[in-house]
């Protein structure tokens, strides 16, 4: 009788152990699986929240302007240049150069030209029937153009060239010349092509729509 009781107790203990282990395994699986699927659902919800227009066709001009607001002043293209200039100056007596007053300064300069347009001047319209966003951009213009320089001069205490004279020379002679070169090399055309790309990237947010991007003035008006 005692042996039978011991066997019964042993069987009960084994069954209990199996049940406990199985329960722990099930709990472990639940802890892993539930968060996994929850994250998948959350990710899906996040994506929908991040782009509420993914499936929507109800878009307004305000929505488009808001999407383009991060590029309010768009520098669509920039060109850098560098060069050297030798500036010579004499003291003048009428139309004559005064002997021994020659002053020479060698200037190494570097410049940057940034071109683009102001988004405040962009004309936007939305055709919800044809599902097309129309964007008319103003003519590309120079947003910034600056020159920095280093100089090595042959000092002449009788006739020294001041720094503001060098800056005036760069502003009046070098910058217009380099801008003209940049225009001849296609800086405006490159800026327009890049502008279209940037605008399309921003408007790709509206996945159901096509885009028609044009410029209000032709490039020939700038040349």
* Residue 29: predicted pLDDT: 46
Helix and strand element counts for the chain (H, E): 5, 8
CB 145 within 8 A of CB 111: yes
Distance CA 100, CA 130 (A): 77
* Residue 5: predicted pLDDT: 55
CA distances from 90 to 28, 41, 167 (A): 91, 79, 18
* Residue 75: predicted pLDDT: 57
Backbone angles phi, psi at 216, to 5 degrees: -70, -25
Q: pTM for the whole thing?
A: 0.62
Which among 54, 64, 209, 66 is positioned nearest to 136, based on CA atoms? 64
What stretches in the chain show pLDDT beneath 70?
1-57, 72-75, 88-103, 152-163, 218-223
Backbone angles phi, psi at 97, to 5 degrees: -80, 130
Q: Give the tens place of pLDDT for each residue, 129-188.
A: 999 999 998 888 899 999 998 876 555 444 455 667 788 888 999 999 999 999 999 999
CB 89 within 8 A of CB 103: yes
Biggest CA pair distance of the chain: 139
Which among 150, 169, 41 is positioned nearest to 106, based on CA atoms? 150
* Residue 48: predicted pLDDT: 46
Distance CA 133, CA 210 (A): 6
* Residue 6: predicted pLDDT: 56
């Amino acid at each position: 009788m005692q042996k039978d009781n011991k066997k019964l107790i042993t069987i009960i203990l084994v069954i209990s152990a199996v049940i406990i282990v199985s329960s722990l395994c099930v709990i472990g699986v639940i802890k892993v699986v539930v968060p996994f699927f929850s994250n998948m659902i959350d990710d899906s919800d996040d994506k929908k929240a991040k782009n509420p227009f993914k499936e929507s066709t109800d878009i307004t001009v305000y929505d488009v302007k808001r999407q383009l607001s991060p590029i309010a002043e768009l520098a669509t293209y920039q060109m850098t240049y560098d060069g050297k200039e030798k500036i010579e100056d004499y003291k003048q007596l009428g139309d004559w150069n005064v002997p021994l007053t020659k002053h020479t300064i060698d200037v190494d300069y570097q410049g940057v030209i940034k071109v683009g347009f102001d988004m405040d001047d962009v004309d936007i319209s939305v055709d919800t029937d044809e599902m097309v966003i129309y964007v008319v951009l103003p003519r590309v213009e120079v947003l910034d153009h600056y020159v920095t320089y280093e100089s090595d001069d042959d000092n002449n205490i009788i006739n020294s060239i001041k720094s503001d004279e060098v800056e005036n020379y760069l502003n009046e002679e070098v910058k217009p010349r380099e801008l003209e070169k940049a225009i001849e090399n296609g800086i405006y055309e490159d800026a327009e092509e890049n502008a279209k790309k940037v605008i399309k990237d921003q408007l790709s947010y509206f996945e159901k729509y096509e885009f028609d991007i044009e410029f209000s003035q032709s490039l020939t008006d700038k040349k």
